[in-house]
Structure 1
């Protein structure tokens, strides 16, 4: 498998991340990694050219691990992809909805199907990933134990699908970041463009309020802002943000300059074309 033609993802064959890889890069070889750390390392070390990394879901929220890995990974965001997520409840041959008592899957998948699982009276067990859960359930062969995974995983691991469309809402969508070892920034002419960055504000009163003011006064739309603790401290807060627009545009440049004045750290993670899905959900 050529490294230059390889895209990595976290999980096992049959995972939604693999489906995302095949949708965006059908001619590349998708390689499974056990952890996000392993996937990031493969890109950084040159063992893979790209990575398909989930960052947030419309039902379950953010993939927390990614926010901690991104700033120190040395990698760059070169694109994004939105994947409509569909989950199926699958179990070994002979199992029925009446025999199944428990279900295992990745914590994000369980969160996306929480209400449905509660309605079925199933006990949830957190596992490393979705497709891996399907494989483990097949190996276990217990008709009281099921997996929650993409429908393709059932055929791959010889399981029966007991119920489709397990997700709690039909808008269930995961946003993926496409990562690379080198930047491939979009140009201002490629707008609409998303600029992603992380920052820490200086420890002064109202620093965050003042830092955000520059985006309002310069007419820059911030589509995402999330905070999370770093370094085991309740005082050290880092923020991840997405904004619309290219830093070479005057209004974006001015907003970032004002932000930086109130920051102890600011790092651009990527400047990349906005996925068409954004315009679709925005409506007319």
Structure 2
């Protein structure tokens, strides 16, 4: 897949963790910064980028706001997933010293993920659009008292000093990204490769609709690894986003989806793609 594409869009400025995820998963592709998640989706739809790398969940912060409403309405397909370990650094302008810092600038999720060092250094925290924006701002200000929390990539791009590495409170801090394409690229199942299939569905407005809709996955031995709801505008019928283990061409998953169709008003397949090795790490 990597050879067919040249560009990959992400939300944020150069040096953001989404940019880092793009470079780690697709080192040969050119990254395309976008001002919003919607803009990243739009860039792919308008052929301004071939792929989009979108964060959906973080092991500390939970699901990423606004993204899940875009997924079923973005007219794109999921072709991959990537898990990015978040390793925050305390960044300063060249010549800055930790003892002289007074303020720190970063994303709304990054700041609470680094509460220990902020408390230790008695810094006043400021929320900005993303971690790269904080890095860009302090570079522009050239103020030795101002710091940012961001990635090593951001330090490299904006010419900042890494004053301390791994300042996150929890080492398991990891973000799951989904990769979107205009085409529903589903490769044939390969022996030894595990797969994830993603879809959205709307249940009928009847008692136990969700229970009945999901029964086929249990009886056919299909593991469901994610299920999230979308509330309808009248709050009486819900839609759901689901990830299950298995390839769409495999008979157990086909039978489970067939049974789902009996109890759901609508089922939309979003993609089948290789499961990332992170899922099965010891």
TM-score (ref. length: structure 1):
0.88
* Shift in CA distance, 257/18, structure 1 to aligned 2, threshold 3 Å: same
**Residues 46-90 of structure 1 deviation map (CA, whole Å, 9 limit, x = unaligned):** 111111111112222211221111111100111111222111122
The answer on whether the counterparts of 1:15 and 1:130 sit within 8 Å (CA) in structure 2 is yes
Structure 2 stretches of 5 or more lacking a match?
none
Q: Which residue of 1 aligns with 2:163?
A: 162
Structure 1 residue 224 displacement after superposition: 1.2
Q: 3-state DSSP class of the match of 2:206?
A: coil
Q: CA RMSD in A?
A: 2.3
TM-score (ref. length: structure 2):
0.88
Q: How many residues align?
A: 278
Q: Which residue of 2 aligns with 1:208?
A: 210
Alpha-carbon separation, structure 2, partners of 1:85 and 1:79: 19
Alpha-carbon separation, structure 2, partners of 1:77 and 1:271: 7
Greater shift, 153-162 or 75-84, is seen at 153-162
Alpha-carbon separation, structure 1, partners of 2:30 and 2:96: 34
The answer on whether the counterparts of 1:105 and 1:129 sit within 8 Å (CA) in structure 2 is yes
Alpha-carbon separation, structure 1, partners of 2:125 and 2:207: 44
* Shift in CA distance, 4/194, structure 1 to aligned 2, threshold 3 Å: closer
* Shift in CA distance, 42/138, structure 1 to aligned 2, threshold 3 Å: same
Structure 1 residue 41 displacement after superposition: 0.5
Structure 1 residue 270 displacement after superposition: 0.8
Moved over 6 A (4+): none
Q: Which residue of 2 aligns with 1:89?
A: 90
Structure 1 residue 243 displacement after superposition: 0.4
* Shift in CA distance, 179/111, structure 1 to aligned 2, threshold 3 Å: farther
